[in-house]
Amino acid sequence: MTSHDCVFKLRKLLKTKRIGHTGTLDPDVDGVLPICIGRATKVAEYLTNSPKAYEGEVSIGSATTTEDATGEVVEEKEIDGMISIDEIEAVLEKFKGEIIQVPPMYSAVKVNGKRLYEYARQGIEVERPERKITIYDISLLDSFEYVNHINNTFRFYVKASKGTYVRTLAVDIGRALGYPAHMSKLTRVSSGSFNANDCLTFDEIVEKLNNDSLKLFPLERALSHLTKLVISEKLEMQVKNGQVLPIPKGYENSSRLVLINKNNECIAIYKQHPTKEGLMKPEKVIRNE
């Protein structure tokens, strides 16, 4: 299933049009896919922009058109000898922090108004825009001693910023080891504050709908990675009217603030005013429905 397939199916199950996902998963990738429903769609962008974590598998020795196991093999090189666990860990360490990544041809990135995968399907190679991404954490998951031409895969964990292509990361890791490579498996293990323990399968959703026990997370959970500020009832009225406010003392370095009322409900998301120092303006006001 594609991420859009999941949304389409849930739209019918929940009988609502206001629904959307928070970060595309390729059809051959499984794992965590938070879905926003109803008024929670207003904060979907904040969850989409939050860091995501994955467990992936790199296959050394062959590169594919799509950079994953679904593509045609375009380059092969047999592993000569052994690649030690120390070599792999040293290479992974080099990818930590802010790095430059070129998105794969089979991706939804637009160039001149057309998605890259559309060019790729026509056999057209175009120049792809570089992008800065951040690798917050990356580590080896396997405890083997080495990789060779027989056992040519290894698993890794990565936590990265929005816009990171993990299959491209797998290719770049292989290249740094001196070999063509592709991503052979991938599971998203977290998205923002959500992990696999928070998730339901479609069968579980249907079962809970049938016995009227389906419970949704409050939209505030999608904002848990942002700085929060509890406000008074008096200030709440000003916030609901979208007024510009002074930045509270101690919050000067926060690019965004989630304003919460006494009932722990999100009233609005404010950001620093672009032209007026010391003030903040509403980026989004969340009204009750």
Q: Given this chain, do its domains 1-49+192-218 and 51-179 carry the same CATH topology?
A: yes
**Residue 90: its pLDDT value, please?**
97
**What class has domain 51-179?**
alpha beta
Secondary structure class of 141 (helix, strand, coil): coil
Domain ranges for the chain: 1-49+192-218, 51-179, 226-285
C-alpha span between 5 and 26 (Å, rounded):
11
Residue 289 — pLDDT band, cuts 50, 70, 90? low
Look at the block and give the residue holding tokens 């079962």.
207
∠ CA 209-210-215, nearest 5°, is: 30
Instruction: Give the pTM.
Output: 0.89
Average of pLDDT values for 28-33?
93
Provide, rounded to the nearest whole percent, the portion of the chain with pLDDT above 90: 74
pLDDT on residue 198:
96
pLDDT band at 159 (very low <50, low <70, confident <90, very high): very high
Residue 247: strand, helix, or coil: coil
- The mean predicted confidence, pLDDT, of the chain is 92
What's residue 107's pLDDT?
72
* Options 5, 26, 142, 203, the catalytic residue: 26
Q: Which of 56-65, 101-110, 152-161, 196-205 has the lowest mean pLDDT?
A: 101-110
Lowest mean pLDDT among 7-11, 53-57, 121-125, 205-209: 121-125
Report the b/e string of 96-121 with b at 16+ CB within 10 A: eeebebebbbbbebeeeeeebeebbe
Amino acid at 160: A
How sure is the predictor about 51, in pLDDT bands with cuts at 50, 70 and 90?
very high
* pLDDT the model gives residue 106: 75
269-273: long-range contacts (C-beta < 8 A, 24 or more apart)?
269/43, 269/46, 269/223, 269/226, 270/239, 270/245, 272/247, 273/244
Tens of pLDDT, residues 169-201: 999 999 999 999 999 999 999 999 999 999 999
Contacts of 87 (CB under 8 A, 6+ apart): 177
Give 214-266 pLDDT, tens digit per residue: 999 999 999 988 999 999 998 999 999 899 999 999 999 888 999 999 999 99
Distance from C-alpha of 100 to C-alpha of 13, rounded to nearest angstrom: 41
Mean pLDDT on 261-273: 93
Active site residue 142: no
CATH top-level class for 226-285?
A: mainly beta
1-49+192-218 folds as: Pseudouridine synthase (3.30.2350)
